[in-house]
Amino acid sequence: MTGWGMEQVAIVGGGFSGALLAINLLRHDGPRAVLIERRPEAGRGIAYSTDHPEHLLNVRAANMSAFPDAPDHFIAWLRRNHGLDSSAFVPRRLYGDYLAEMLADAVAHAPDRLHVINGDAIDIVETEAGGQVKLSDGRVVAACKVVLAIGNLAPERPAELADIAFPSGTYVDDPWRSDPGAGLGTDDQIMVLGTGLSMIDVVLSLVARGYRGRILALSRRGLLPHAHAETPATRRLERPPVGPRDLLRAVRVRAAEVPWRSAVDELRPFTQDIWRAMPIADRARCLRHLRPWWDIHRHRIAPVVADRLADLRASGRLEIRAGRIVNVTDCGGKLALSVRERGTGAIMERRISRLVNATGPQGSLARTSEPLLKTLAERGQIRADPLGIGIDVDADSRVIDDAGRPADYLRLIGPMSRGAFWEIVAVPDIRRQSWSLARRLSNAHWVEGDGL
């Protein structure tokens, strides 16, 4: 059995969420931590492991500190190591360096309180003293609390493509595990499913790796994320209304008074509370009707990235279309696609060399292929949230079992708690969640205020 005893927290997942929780446990003089990560290096996760300099943070460096009680922490690191300022949209690999360095420093300064294990967690069982994490190599980590920090799940195949047997090499289900443009040339065309942040990463990667062919990006609405702009920081004094229609109306009124980016950004202090106060029916209504618009206005991209996309579109190398695939046939090693265009209903025919799924991370527990989550769900230790976009948790990040009971020994942080918190995918939100949970597990949460 691995570990120093039961007075420790086992964290499954060593990306941003998990690494930050472990570091915060040390900062708050909490229990010892065991960080379990399947990837060769802990601290970076998928998002910050990219090598491409064109993959930039979607938030200015000034708001990317890992700690809510030390807002200048990342800026100081950037100035010290790279001479960059707070207005920069820096490469994500630099942020990965920042996280990895913090984790390495924490381990070096407190090896008796933080231990990193390279391994694959395959099961979690409850015990009288807490829980045990079982690894694929037979090791067992005992702990008083277990925290799932699993990050985003891989994209799932769209429903209209679920039963299609694609010819070898023509469909890429996870663009982060391979080079989607490998073996293709100037005369080839790639179709990317999705027009959001994941699509942008795929397109920039393809171009950076030397792909010279054309790219067609397709989504139901054909919406692209908006770019950041220099806007005044404004503050909303009153809490926005909770109902979806009233909230939308209030934001539109506010956007007539201040720049729309400011009107959206000033919702951040209220967003999670608004979401939790909404009845489930209203949350579902937001997902059906408002989510695509919220995503492109709230989760924006660096201006230089927007300019790069505009250049690719102007040159004819990148095309953005709205519609849905209605038919796919094998055409001599390529794919012949029929797409029903949004609005007109016209059928667009395209022959492509490769279809790349960039629809973004999935949240469906029912459709996940992740062995650990499947095992826990089948046993009833975890369940899907009522909206089917993540794992069900309460306000204290305790996982809810299939009988509706919160499990004090098992917690969840990060994007898979979006059903409870909604805005929990960006660094500013996850850093607050990990900081708060670390304080709670360290019995420091009764101290009010940041910076203590």
Q: Kindly state the tokens that stand for 251.
A: 């934001």
Mean pLDDT, residues 81-105: 93
Question: Is residue 371 situated within a structural domain?
Answer: yes
Indicate whether 293 and 416 sit together in one domain: no
Indicate whether 50 and 118 sit together in one domain: yes
Q: What is the Cα–Cα distance from 64 to 91, expressed in whole angstroms?
A: 12
Indicate whether 66 and 132 sit together in one domain: yes
Mean pLDDT, residues 313-323: 97
Q: Given the DSSP bridges, would you call strands 354-357 and 189-193 parallel, antiparallel or unpaired?
A: parallel
Q: Number of folded domains in the chain?
A: 3
Q: Write the burial class of residue 173 (CB in 10 Å: 0-12 exposed, 13-18 middle, 19+ buried).
A: middle
User: Within 13 A of 13's CA, how many CA atoms are on the CB side?
Assistant: 26
Indicate whether 91 and 207 sit together in one domain: no
Question: Is residue 175 situated within a structural domain?
Answer: yes
Indicate whether 273 and 373 sit together in one domain: no
Indicate whether 328 and 424 sit together in one domain: no
Indicate whether 126 and 179 sit together in one domain: no
37-46, 172-181, 316-325: which is most confident? 316-325
Q: Kindly state the tokens that stand for 128.
A: 């009288």
Question: Is residue 261 situated within a structural domain?
Answer: yes
pLDDT by residue (tens digit) across 362-391? 888 888 889 999 999 999 999 999 999 999
Indicate whether 146 and 169 sit together in one domain: no
Nearest to 116 by CA among 135, 125, 97, 103: 103
Q: Kindly state the tokens that stand for 241.
A: 């209304």
Nearest to 381 by CA among 148, 161, 158, 193: 148
Indicate whether 38 and 139 sit together in one domain: yes
Q: Kindly state the tokens that stand for 344.
A: 């007109």
Indicate whether 280 and 350 sit together in one domain: no
Range of the domain at 256: 244-298
Contact 34, 3 (CB under 8 A): yes
CATH of the domain at 126: 3.50.50.60
Mean pLDDT, residues 4-12: 78
Flag whether the pTM goes above 0.75: yes
pLDDT for residue 366: 85
Contact 445, 436 (CB under 8 A): yes
Question: Is residue 446 situated within a structural domain?
Answer: no
Question: Is residue 450 situated within a structural domain?
Answer: no
pLDDT by residue (tens digit) across 332-342? 889 999 999 99
One-letter amino acid for residue 179 of the chain:
D
Give the largest Cα separation in the chain, rounded: 67
* Helix, strand and coil percent figures for the chain, each rounded to 5: 35, 25, 45
Question: Is residue 234 situated within a structural domain?
Answer: no
Indicate whether 51 and 137 sit together in one domain: yes
Question: Is residue 449 situated within a structural domain?
Answer: no
Residue for token digits 């293709």?
A: 184
pLDDT at residue 450 is higher than 60: no
Nearest to 271 by CA among 231, 293, 298: 298
Dihedral sign from CA coordinates of 35, 38, 40, 46:
negative
Indicate whether 48 and 14 sit together in one domain: yes
Q: What's the full length of the chain, in residues? A: 452
Question: Is residue 353 situated within a structural domain?
Answer: yes
